[in-house]
Structure formats: structure tokens, C-alpha cells
């Protein structure tokens, strides 16, 4: 690329959090329990009951986000704060909390981007079968979404349906923390859950388009580029298989309203086909998102030969691909550096991912998560010199700018995370924020906020890139 283009003036520069990882106040003001509140957590990690205390601190936090120059903030709404048992009575105090949060953001010139569902299924719905109980969950998800739209659609333009459906389904048989709480599922159940998510999500998108035409809605999947381990044609095919299984099966159903044919054959051959009902294809076809939101942390590499090690039973990391016999096998990529937590750093892969998605679907893109987890402590100047994070962001934003220059429509970049929060399954010590929250796994201290070096870096970056 010889000449880089400028970002549009209305490009939204932001950062993200999710409700269960940031809010705390897990039983305050009438909130019901979610699967995240009741699951067993390893002794060495913090639970989610206090988290970053965003529920009580949001005003102070938003003031810092404003100081950083953010124009967007992506957060999720806690289903059980709005409807404590998932499908019954509405909790007025929960409704008011999100009105206040949204108003505070708008007052500070920050565009709210709302995720409807981010891993925190109401526990009482889980007890009724959760995402496996189609009639129950589709109805409950639609009801909950309608409550949100009726309350907040006048104030919120950008909506996200489900966070990382693909991660929940792909690793749901190997890792317990996402859509099952303490439960793992078999593949058959998972692909049924996935189908139920497609249907619920399609109905919610349709509801929005029919009744709230000024809003825009999208899924928020975790999409990554997948490389073949060599130039053997079979490895290229394995990479295509992995992309179908990890990325395109989901986006094809949500954007095109179609089951990807290669995935369909895989499901059929393995007896994993979900229970299709009459009218399902029409429901999927009718709904179409307005843009594609996605989370990107790392890329993956695969080969065709089967690994010699025994298939992992229990994954400790949701980003790591594994083996699917007959489709692909997992490989390390020796060309990439790793983060402290072992995730490959691949900014070129970020560009590959955006290009692949745009070429397939031609919808505007929004980055809803991208960032680096690291263990950190305040230094003697009450800050954290997180140069590794600055480097990570610099590289990824450089590739983003190349994509924009190549004509890919991108509307917003939201880094993960704004303030330090509890990692999805590795406690508070694994930090992602621009803002340090002073607590440890078990010692809550005063939870004071301290901008890290990356805070000032992002602030300058946003300021400079605008002009
Ligand atoms: C994504 C999730 O999978 O990755 C976030 O949407 C999560 O909720 C993020 O926090 C980083 O993963 P982790 O496990 O390091 O918190």
C-alpha cells in the first residue's frame, strides 16, 4: 500500500467490557443469579461477585473514558438484572441502572454499543435446559430483547445479539465456563444449541428491523484467520475446513440465512444435525444483520495429518484450536511471538481476517474486542508501563488502517478492555485494561483506578489520527 487513507470523522474509537466481568453487585438491587454467579471457581481465582465494581463506579469510569477521548463504549447488559429469573418479572432497578449508564455515556459524548447477551445466562433458565430447550429459550431471549429495545432503542443505535456464539459452541464440550456454567455438553447438544441461537438471534434482528428502524444490529463472533501449516494441498484443505467450522458456518447462517454446505455434510455424517423445524429456513433467510461485529485476539494454524497426542479432554484456553478428525489438526505457529498467556500475536492475521470477511459478506465491520492480557502491578509512580500492550495495539491498528485504505468499510474499533476486569476464566491477575483497578484476586482494597501508560498512548493516538 503506497498511501494510507484517513479514518472517517465519524469512526468510533472505543473500548469494551462485559457485565459479569466488570459490574460486580451480583445480587444487589434485585439482580438474579446467572450461571457465572453460581459456577465453581478455582481457589486461586477471584469470583465475579465484586469484579471491578463498575456497578457502583460507572460515573468515575466514564469520566476517565472521556478523558481518554473515546467516542464509543461497548458493554453488555446483564439479563438477570433486567429479568431476575430470565423470563418472568421485570426488575425496575435494573432497568434504571442501564438508563443511567447510557445517559451518562451520552452526556459525555460516548456512543453506547450494547451486547444483549455475553456468557451470563440466567441460572434459572439453565435449570430449565438453557440453550438446549428451544421453545423456552427462544421465547425468553425474544422477550428479554424486546424489553431492552422498548426501553433503550431511542438512545442506543448499535446493538449486538450474542457474544462469541462460535466459541461457546466449539469449546462447549471441552471447557465449562461459557454457556453451561459448570456443565459440559456433547456435540449433538451443542449443535442444537447453536441452531437455537441462530433462530433466537434471527427473530431478535427481525424484531429490531420491524420496530426500530433507526437502530443497527449484528452478531459478535470471534473470527480469526486460519493458516495451513505447509504448502501441501491437503493442509490448505484442512485450513478451509477449520475456517468453515470456526468462522463461516456461523456467519453464513446469520448473514446469508443458509447452512454452510460443507458444515452441513459434516454434521450429517456425524449425526450432529440439529432438529430443524418447518419454517426455520424462512426465519433464517428473513433476518440479516446490518454489519458484522467480531472479536479478534490471535490466529490459528492447522494441518491435515492427525496429531499423535491423545485428544485433549479439558481445554484451559478458549482461543486454542484442537483436532477434529477428518477435518483438521491443531499446530503451533513458530513464526509468531506469544503473549504471557500463550496467545500468538498476529496483527497481519487481523488484516487477513477483515479482508476474508469483507470479501465474503460485503457488510461493514466493527471490532468489538482486541487486546492483550498480562499480569501487572502498580509501580512506584502508581501506574503500569505496559509497553507490550502499546506495541500490540500499534501493530493491530496499523493493519486496520491498511484495511480501510484498501476500501474495507470499518465503522468502529473497541479495544478489550477499558478498565481491568475479571478474565473470563483466569481471574483478576490477567489484566487487559487501559485503566488499572487496584485489587488482587482476593484482596479488594479500595479498587481505585489508575491510568496505565497505554491510556495516555491511546488518547494521543485517537487525537492524532483524527486530523
Ligand atoms: C473473549 C470474551 O473470549 O475473550 C471475553 O468475549 C474474554 O469475555 C476475552 O474476557 C479474553 O479472554 P480471557 O479468557 O483472557 O478473559
pLDDT at 54: 98
Q: What is the pLDDT of residues 421-457, one digit of tens each?
A: 999 989 999 999 999 999 999 999 999 999 999 999 9
Whether residue 429 has its Cβ less than 6 Å from ligand 1: no
Q: Indicate if the alpha-carbon torsion angle 155, 158, 160, 161 is positive or negative.
A: positive
Residue pair 291/364 in contact (Cβ under 8 Å)? The answer is yes
pLDDT at 120: 96
> What's the rounded Cα separation, in Å, for the pair 382 and 384?
7
Q: Which of 23, 111, 151, 369 is catalytic?
A: 369
Distance 74 CA to ligand 1 centre (A): 14
CATH code of the domain containing 417:
3.20.20.80
DSSP character string of 262-274: HHHHHHHHTT---
Q: Which three cell numbers stand for residue 89?
A: 418479572
Residue pair 50/36 in contact (Cβ under 8 Å)? The answer is no
Range of the domain at 222: 12-466
Asked about 151 being catalytic, the answer comes back as no
Has residue 6 been placed in a domain?
no
Residue 311: pLDDT band (50, 70, 90) is: low
The per-residue pLDDT of the chain, averaged, comes to 95
State yes or no: pLDDT of 161 exceeds 70.
Answer: yes
Has residue 1 been placed in a domain?
no
Chain-centroid distance, C-alpha 149: 20
Q: What is the pLDDT of residues 334-364, one digit of tens each?
A: 999 999 999 999 999 999 999 999 999 999 9
Best residue for ligand 1 mutational test, from 19, 300, 315, 424 (most atoms within 8 Å of Cβ) = 424
211 closest CA partner among 145, 116, 262, 164 = 145
Has residue 256 been placed in a domain?
yes
Residues whose CB falls within 8 Å of the CB of residue 10, separated by 6 or more in sequence, listed in order: none
Structural domain total, the chain: 1
> What's the rounded Cα separation, in Å, for the pair 3 and 355?
18
Whether residue 424 has its Cβ less than 6 Å from ligand 1: yes
Distance 278 CA to ligand 1 centre (A): 36
> What's the rounded Cα separation, in Å, for the pair 396 and 371?
9
Question: How many Cα atoms within 13 Å fall on the side-chain side of residue 26?
Answer: 19
Please compute the mean of the pLDDT values over residues 244-256 and round it to a whole number: 98
State yes or no: pLDDT of 95 exceeds 90.
Answer: yes
Degrees to nearest 5, angle at CA 129 with 126 and 133: 125
Residue pair 415/458 in contact (Cβ under 8 Å)? The answer is yes
Has residue 5 been placed in a domain?
no
Has residue 368 been placed in a domain?
yes
Residue 316: pLDDT band (50, 70, 90) is: low
Helices assigned H by DSSP within 108-245: 123-127, 134-152, 165-170, 187-211, 233-243
pLDDT at 48: 94
Asked about 376 being catalytic, the answer comes back as no
Angstrom CA distances, 256 to 88, 324, 361, stand at: 33, 25, 8
Q: Is 216 helix (H, G, I), strand (E, B) or coil?
A: strand
Has residue 71 been placed in a domain?
yes
Distance 75 CA to ligand 1 centre (A): 13
Q: Which of 151, 164, 189, 376 is catalytic?
A: 164
State yes or no: pLDDT of 21 exceeds 80.
Answer: yes
Q: What is the pLDDT of residues 23-75, one digit of tens each?
A: 999 999 999 999 999 988 888 999 999 999 999 999 999 999 999 999 999 99
Has residue 433 been placed in a domain?
yes
Q: Is 98 helix (H, G, I), strand (E, B) or coil?
A: helix
H helix or E strand, kind and range, residue 82: helix 79-82
335: number of Cβ within 10 Å? 10
Has residue 66 been placed in a domain?
yes
Q: Indicate if the alpha-carbon torsion angle 388, 389, 394, 399 is positive or negative.
A: positive
Q: Which atom of ligand 1 is found nearest the CA of 430? A: 15
List beta partners, residue 451: 435
Q: What is the pLDDT of residues 268-282, one digit of tens each?
A: 999 999 999 999 999
221 closest CA partner among 168, 294, 120, 116 = 294
* Nearest protein Cα to ligand 1, atom 12: 424
Amino acid at each position: 500500500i503506497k498511501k494510507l487513507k484517513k479514518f472517517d470523522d465519524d469512526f468510533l474509537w472505543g473500548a469494551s467490557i462485559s457485565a459479569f466481568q466488570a459490574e460486580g453487585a451480583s445480587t444487589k438491587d434485585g439482580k438474579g443469579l446467572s450461571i457465572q454467579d453460581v459456577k465453581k471457581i478455582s481457589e486461586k481465582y477471584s469470583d465475579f461477585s465484586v469484579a471491578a465494581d463498575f456497578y457502583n463506579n460507572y460515573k468515575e469510569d466514564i469520566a476517565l473514558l472521556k478523558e481518554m477521548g473515546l467516542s464509543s463504549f461497548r458493554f453488555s447488559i446483564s439479563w438477570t438484572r433486567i429479568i431476575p429469573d430470565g423470563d418472568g418479572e421485570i426488575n425496575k432497578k435494573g432497568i434504571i441502572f442501564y438508563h443511567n449508564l447510557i445517559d451518562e455515556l451520552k452526556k459525555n459524548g460516548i456512543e453506547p454499543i450494547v451486547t444483549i447477551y455475553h456468557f451470563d445466562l440466567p441460572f434459572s433458565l439453565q435449570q430449565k435446559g438453557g440453550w438446549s430447550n428451544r421453545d423456552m429459550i427462544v421465547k425468553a431471549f425474544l422477550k428479554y430483547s424486546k424489553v431492552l429495545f422498548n426501553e433503550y432503542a431511542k438512545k442506543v443505535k448499535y446493538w449486538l445479539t450474542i457474544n462469541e456464539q462460535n466459541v461457546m459452541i466449539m469449546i462447549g464440550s471441552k471447557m465449562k465456563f461459557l454457556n453451561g456454567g459448570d456443565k459440559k455438553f456433547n456435540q449433538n447438544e451443542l449443535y442444537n444449541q447453536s441452531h437455537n441461537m441462530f433462530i433466537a438471534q434471527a427473530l431478535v434482528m427481525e424484531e429490531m428491523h420491524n420496530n426500530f428502524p433507526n437502530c443497527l444490529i449484528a452478531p459478535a463472533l470471534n473470527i480469526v484467520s486460519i493458516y495451513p501449516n505447509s504448502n501441501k494441498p491437503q493442509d490448505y484443505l484442512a485450513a478451509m475446513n477449520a475456517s468453515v467450522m470456526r468462522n463461516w458456518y456461523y456467519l453464513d447462517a446469520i448473514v446469508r440465512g443458509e447452512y454452510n454446505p460443507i458444515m452441513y455434510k459434516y454434521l450429517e455424517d456425524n449425526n450432529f444435525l440439529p432438529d430443524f423445524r418447518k419454517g426455520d429456513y424462512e426465519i433464517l433467510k428473513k433476518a440479516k444483520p446490518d454489519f458484522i461485529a467480531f472479536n479478534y485476539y490471535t490466529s490459528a494454524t492447522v494441518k491435515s495429518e492427525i496429531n499423535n497426542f491423545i485428544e485433549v479432554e479439558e481445554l484451559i484456553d478458549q482461543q486454542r484450536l484442537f483436532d477434529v478428525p477428518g477435518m483438521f489438526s491443531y499446530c503451533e505457529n513458530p513464526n509468531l511471538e506469544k503473549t504471557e498467556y500463550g496467545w500468538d500475536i498476529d496483527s497481519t492475521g487481523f488484516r487477513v481476517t477483515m479482508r476474508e470477511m469483507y470479501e465474503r459478506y460485503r457488510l461493514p465491520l466493527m471490532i468489538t474486542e482486541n487486546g492483550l492480557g498480562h499480569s501487572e502491578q502498580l509501580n512506584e509512580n502508581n501506574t503500569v508501563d505496559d509497553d507490550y500492550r502499546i506495541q500490540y495495539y500499534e501493530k493491530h491498528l496499523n493493519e486496520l488502517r491498511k484495511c480501510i485504505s484498501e476500501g474495507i468499510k470499518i465503522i468502529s474499533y473497541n479495544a478489550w478492555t477499558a478498565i481491568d476486569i475479571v478474565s473470563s476464566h483466569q481471574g483478576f491477575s490477567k489484566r487487559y485494561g487501559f485503566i488499572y483497578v487496584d485489587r488482587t484476586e482476593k484482596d479488594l482494597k479500595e479498587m481505585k483506578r489508575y491510568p496505565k501508560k497505554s491510556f495516555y498512548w491511546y488518547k494521543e493516538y485517537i487525537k492524532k489520527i483524527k486530523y
